[in-house]
Chains A and B, each alone.
Chain A
């Protein structure tokens, strides 16, 4: 006995566990499936009984028993398999929270009751029909729930993306722990092919990492010591030692999921009309069904016919597809975006995007990489480039200035020399001694100060500055040996993205705090048509406002300092560059800091909005045509129900077609 009890307990536990692990979608699909099978098992015999007589003149059941057999067979279909619908629908009728179940519940229950009224000779027997209506309804719901599951598959995949376990270093031991136990500061060991458990920074070894699942970037990214890595991305070819910097709900992935999920709750303006109609749709249909019944009674005095027509009116109306037309397309669209690192935060953005005429770009961090890089090296006479760079880097290594770091990382890997008597000359440059040589590195002011002649390279300096580059002059024993040009380099695909936008007829504008010359140089490089330079950080929003006078504006910025401008613009597109996502800033967030994302976001918005319009059109057209046909008595209740189920499946299916569009 004891044994049996324990066994039962275990079974129950396992069952509950299984049920828990299934998502709500899966549970709903499974539940509709059960109802579908159950209701058809009974409805098929009902149809055989009803139509064998009608079509073949056979009577499987003696005529006088038929109504009772039908009532018995239809009962479980309506009141067991359809119970949830009946309950929700009736509750809606009582509490005035009408929903589409109210229509189906009323339609099927009235049809079922005719089976009893039939005994008194009051009306034709519609109880078999009630069973068919419920079965078709359940079937439609089953197909729809499957299609909806498909629509949300990308977002579900996102949820399942995270790693489950992590291997961490505790003392000298490697132990495997659940991801939820990883704390900030833990050092994780990630082998090739494994998922990086959580956001962190590489502390040892190097490797390349596939970040496509999170940022949409298709090429693996090289990660060396000090490099930031994102949780859920996949380590490719080397073992990485990573110190966890973010865990749980603070991670990049958790933020993406949050953005995408919240977006589903936002509304696309075009939906408002549909929502208004949805909220009054059911009561109107109820009234219409009553009016239809009364009118048919007055004009035909045929109770059976009048009831049949009224039932058809109840079941043909499809408030569901009306309300689903927009959210389902938004869901498919945002899922497609998420896969490519384009996160739609506000449904409104996809509609507004259509009206946008001007696209304004922030410069630093948006068009450019946001940190200086060595872009050109020039040497005097017989001096070798390597020698110049090594000499410069040996000194720069001792400085923390961004330009110094750019030079050091450019030279990375070469041998640096020992420097004595090192001194930082703030705002001008550096000096020190290598061996017996006195090295001075810095700008023109410093050279002038130290009376070092720059005559030979003046032309080159002019050329660098014309292009908006910063020039670092290197001298040895009082003689100039060369110059290094440093600039905030343009991102690789900025040029292509701007070209595409120009070609599509957008007015492209760059806004920056830089001086006119540097700004124009960058704008020219990427093909931007208009430049607004010398803008104070606080004034960007004001400039956007001015541009809005001549049409809707989208602002593209890196989110951290551009928040006011992103808010001011009609559509704010924030760059979620690297490992930080500026959540509150934009309407659309690009996880990969590339401008091609802007082009993709525009394409995606247009495609999604197009699909929404298409869906709404079909739904309106369906209801406008189908309801009058039902009122006119031209549709049998079963046909009406088939049409209704088909229309809501179509809406969901059509939204899934969005996936085929190239973005």
Chain B
């Protein structure tokens, strides 16, 4: 299990945040996601094997960009 903090650019409303959440939840291995439109941060709990690249893609599918990934 790993915990990641994603900094996401471009979200400007709550429906954006919930779209990112939905999209991230579909990534294989992702267990828990909370995205805050206020801090531009997404907190992800996922299996160790989960690819960061796929998470980034999931965010961009919802229309936004990951500018930083930090492992907690």
> Number of A interface residues, CB 8 Å?
42
Closest to A25 in B: B40
Taking a contact as CB atoms closer than 8 A, the residue among A28, A266, A323 that contacts B14 in the complex is: A323
CB-CB under 8 A from A323, the residues of chain B are 13-15, 17-18, 37
**B9 touching A24, Cβ below 8 Å:** yes
Within 8 A of A (CB), among B16-61: 16-19, 22-23, 34-43, 61
Taking a contact as CB atoms closer than 8 A, the residue among B10, B15, B38 that contacts A328 in the complex is: B38
What is the CB-to-nearest-CB distance from B42 to chain A, in angstroms, rounded to a whole number? 8
What is the CB-to-nearest-CB distance from A22 to chain B, in angstroms, rounded to a whole number? 12
A99-B19 contact, Cβ under 8 Å, with A91-B63, A323-B14? yes
**B36 touching A100, Cβ below 8 Å:** no
Q: Is B62 an interface residue (CB 8 A)?
A: yes
For A238-279 the 0/1 string (1 means CB < 8 A from B) is 000000000000000000001001101111000000010011
Complex Cα distance, B63 from A91, in Å, reads: 7
**Highest count of chain B CB atoms <10 Å: which of A141, A148, A262:** A262
**A320 touching B39, Cβ below 8 Å:** no
Q: Is A512 an interface residue (CB 8 A)?
A: no
Q: Is A131 an interface residue (CB 8 A)?
A: no
**A99 touching B39, Cβ below 8 Å:** no
Q: Is B1 an interface residue (CB 8 A)?
A: no
What is the CB-to-nearest-CB distance from A259 to chain B, in angstroms, rounded to a whole number? 12
CB-CB under 8 A from A92, the residues of chain B are 19, 63
Complex Cα distance, B16 from A262, in Å, reads: 18
Closest to A332 in B: B38
Closest to A88 in B: B63
**B36 touching A264, Cβ below 8 Å:** yes
Closest to A31 in B: B10
What is the CB-to-nearest-CB distance from B44 to chain A, in angstroms, rounded to a whole number? 10
Q: Is A504 an interface residue (CB 8 A)?
A: no
**Highest count of chain B CB atoms <10 Å: which of A24, A91, A92, A145:** A24
Closest to B17 in A: A323
Complex Cα distance, B59 from A95, in Å, reads: 13
What is the CB-to-nearest-CB distance from B23 to chain A, in angstroms, rounded to a whole number? 7
Complex Cα distance, B12 from A327, in Å, reads: 12
A152-B61 contact, Cβ under 8 Å, with A24-B67, A327-B14? no
CB-CB under 8 A from B23, the residues of chain A are 97
A264-B13 contact, Cβ under 8 Å, with A95-B61, A97-B22, A97-B62? no
CB-CB under 8 A from B38, the residues of chain A are 148, 151-152, 264, 327-328, 330-331
**Highest count of chain B CB atoms <10 Å: which of A27, A144, A265, A278:** A265
**A278 touching B15, Cβ below 8 Å:** yes
Q: Is A319 an interface residue (CB 8 A)?
A: yes
> Number of B interface residues, CB 8 Å?
29
CB-CB under 8 A from A141, the residues of chain B are 12
What is the CB-to-nearest-CB distance from A277 to chain B, in angstroms, rounded to a whole number? 10
**B16 touching A99, Cβ below 8 Å:** yes
Taking a contact as CB atoms closer than 8 A, the residue among A28, A98, A152, A330 that contacts B12 in the complex is: A28
Within 8 A of B (CB), among A301-327: 319-320, 322-324, 327
Complex Cα distance, B11 from A88, in Å, reads: 10
CB-CB under 8 A from B36, the residues of chain A are 264-265, 327
Closest to B15 in A: A99
CB-CB under 8 A from A265, the residues of chain B are 34-36, 39, 41-43
A267-B63 contact, Cβ under 8 Å, with A99-B16, A155-B39, A281-B15? no
**B13 touching A100, Cβ below 8 Å:** yes
CB-CB under 8 A from A28, the residues of chain B are 12
**A282 touching B7, Cβ below 8 Å:** no
Within 8 A of B (CB), among A171-207: none
Taking a contact as CB atoms closer than 8 A, the residue among A27, A84, A279 that contacts B15 in the complex is: A279
CB-CB under 8 A from A327, the residues of chain B are 14, 36-38
**A152 touching B18, Cβ below 8 Å:** no
Complex Cα distance, B16 from A320, in Å, reads: 9
CB-CB under 8 A from B12, the residues of chain A are 28, 141, 144-145, 320
Complex Cα distance, B3 from A262, in Å, reads: 12
What is the CB-to-nearest-CB distance from A648 to chain B, in angstroms, rounded to a whole number? 8
For A64-105 the 0/1 string (1 means CB < 8 A from B) is 000000000000000000001001100110010111100000
Complex Cα distance, B40 from A151, in Å, reads: 14
**B41 touching A324, Cβ below 8 Å:** no
Taking a contact as CB atoms closer than 8 A, the residue among B5, B10, B15, B42 that contacts A320 in the complex is: B15
Closest to B20 in A: A97
Complex Cα distance, B2 from A293, in Å, reads: 50
Complex Cα distance, B49 from A477, in Å, reads: 74
**A97 touching B63, Cβ below 8 Å:** yes
What is the CB-to-nearest-CB distance from A315 to chain B, in angstroms, rounded to a whole number? 14
CB-CB under 8 A from B62, the residues of chain A are 95, 97
6 cross-chain pairs, A with B, having the tightest CB-CB distances, nearest first: A323-B14, A265-B34, A320-B13, A264-B36, A97-B19, A99-B15
Contacts A261-B39, A324-B37 aside, 13 further interface pairs with beta carbons under 8 A come to A88-B10, A92-B19, A97-B22, A97-B23, A99-B15, A145-B12, A148-B38, A152-B39, A261-B5, A281-B15, A323-B37, A327-B38, A330-B38
The contact sample of 25 A-B pairs, CB cut-off 8 A, is: A24-B7, A24-B40, A25-B40, A84-B10, A95-B62, A97-B61, A98-B15, A99-B15, A99-B16, A100-B13, A151-B38, A265-B36, A265-B42, A265-B43, A266-B34, A275-B14, A278-B15, A278-B18, A281-B15, A282-B15, A323-B37, A324-B14, A327-B38, A331-B38, A331-B39
